[in-house]
Amino acid sequence: MIGGPSPLDIARGLLEGERSLVRAAIVGIGGAGCNVVTNLSRLGLAGFKLIAVNTDAASLKESKADYKVLIGDRFLSGRSARTVENGKKAMEEDIDRVISLIKGNELVVLVSGLGGGSGTGGHIVLAEELRKSEKDALLVSIAIIPFSSEGERVLKNAQIGLAEVLDSSDLTLVYFNDKLREKFPDMPLIRAYRIMDSWIASILEGIYGLQAIHPLPGMINVDFAVMKEAAKNSGLGYAGVAEAQTTEEALEECLNDPFGDADVRGCKALVGYIEGSQTRISVSNITKVQEFLTNNLKIPEIYFGLKPSWEMSKPRVFALALGVKSKMVDEFLGLGGG
């Protein structure tokens, strides 16, 4: 069809999409995970049920979430887990209460800062459990890697945690705190953390937005089912979003990993969309994006759609790359490994 669908078709499609919105939940585990969830709530992230889980009662009390679960209270009495073993045990003790909140969601995102007890141990146990009990859900893990200055014990915990999380999640996105230091050396830590949280919010918004996409002329329809199929067991992923003067610029920019060094070249698949005013995005913009992904980046499987938005003056591109490479992740996993 020349010129693609009419705005009316698109509006209809979006309405239909709205009727069957994907049920999604985010679970923040441990101090960092709960902080992220608090900020997602402050940023008004829509569509996700927000759940905070921690062994630390005081920190949990301060967090903002739709649901809060104190774990391991029987043996930790509301204090930090400190060791990964304690974190695991705490999650095991209260797994039923956590699972009952997650049950039935099709998209489940676990977030934690690795290196401590609750986040690391809790994330490992919960991911493994969800793998068994919620087979139909897409399990996405967000793993925050501690600063390399935090010492051997923290890094070792994080290393073990990351290996297990990568193994038991469908898709894992990794964010290095070291990148915050590199980018904002003089900024108070709390503010730098919030920048990472905003990025995480826009990525989650992007992933959630994958369900209301209009297929481009001549392309396969992109919806949550397509994304889920591509993302199942895809390992390390990368998601980016950027707005620029042209779609090509936005695409290149969004593939630049701000909190790691993900390399999307030759990755397994890429799912994404261009968001913008339909009158400004031409068929050639779209073909250029496709050509760039296919010819320059050698990505064999591409699902790209359009998300019409009348308010936007500049095009925005969201991309989720699956099965990517990262030297930083490889090096981190190799740390002290032999």
DSSP code at position 219? S
Burial zone of 228 (CB within 10 Å; 0-12 exposed, 13-18 middle, 19+ buried): buried
Measure the CA–CA gap between 303 and 290, rounded to whole angstroms.
9
Measure the CA–CA gap between 137 and 130, rounded to whole angstroms.
8
Q: Which of residues 37-56 bind ligand GTP (CB under 6 A)?
A: 55-56
Beta bridge partners of 263: 325
Selected from 176, 193, 208, 332, the binder of ligand GTP by CB under 6 A is 193
CA-wise closest residue to 49 among 59, 37, 32: 37
Q: Does 154 bind ligand GTP (CB under 6 A)?
A: yes
The partner in contact with residue 146, picked from Mg ion, ligand GTP, none with C-beta cut-offs of 5 to 8 angstroms by kind, is: ligand GTP
CA atoms within 13 A on the CB side of 324: 29
Selected from 25, 26, 29, 31, the binder of Mg ion by CB under 5 A is 31
DSSP code at position 263? B
DSSP code at position 45? -
The partner in contact with residue 113, picked from ligand GTP, Mg ion, none with C-beta cut-offs of 5 to 8 angstroms by kind, is: ligand GTP
CA-wise closest residue to 322 among 285, 265, 267, 251: 267
Selected from 5, 113, 272, 323, the binder of ligand GTP by CB under 6 A is 113
Closer CB to Mg ion, 31 or 72, in the complex: 31
Enumerate residues 6+ apart whose C-beta is below 8 A from 3.
217, 283
Q: Does 278 bind Mg ion (CB under 5 A)?
A: no
Selected from 5, 28, 30, 323, the binder of ligand GTP by CB under 6 A is 30
Q: Does 278 bind ligand GTP (CB under 6 A)?
A: no
Q: Does 124 bind ligand GTP (CB under 6 A)?
A: no
Cα–Cα–Cα angle for 130, 157, 40, nearest 5°?
55
Q: Does 118 bind ligand GTP (CB under 6 A)?
A: yes
The least distance separating ligand GTP from the CB of residue 21, rounded to whole angstroms, comes to 29
The least distance separating ligand GTP from the CB of residue 62, rounded to whole angstroms, comes to 12
Selected from 35, 80, 211, 234, the binder of Mg ion by CB under 5 A is 80
Q: Which residues bind ligand GTP (CB under 6 A)?
A: 30-32, 35, 55-56, 80-82, 87, 113, 115-119, 144, 146-147, 150, 154, 177, 193, 196
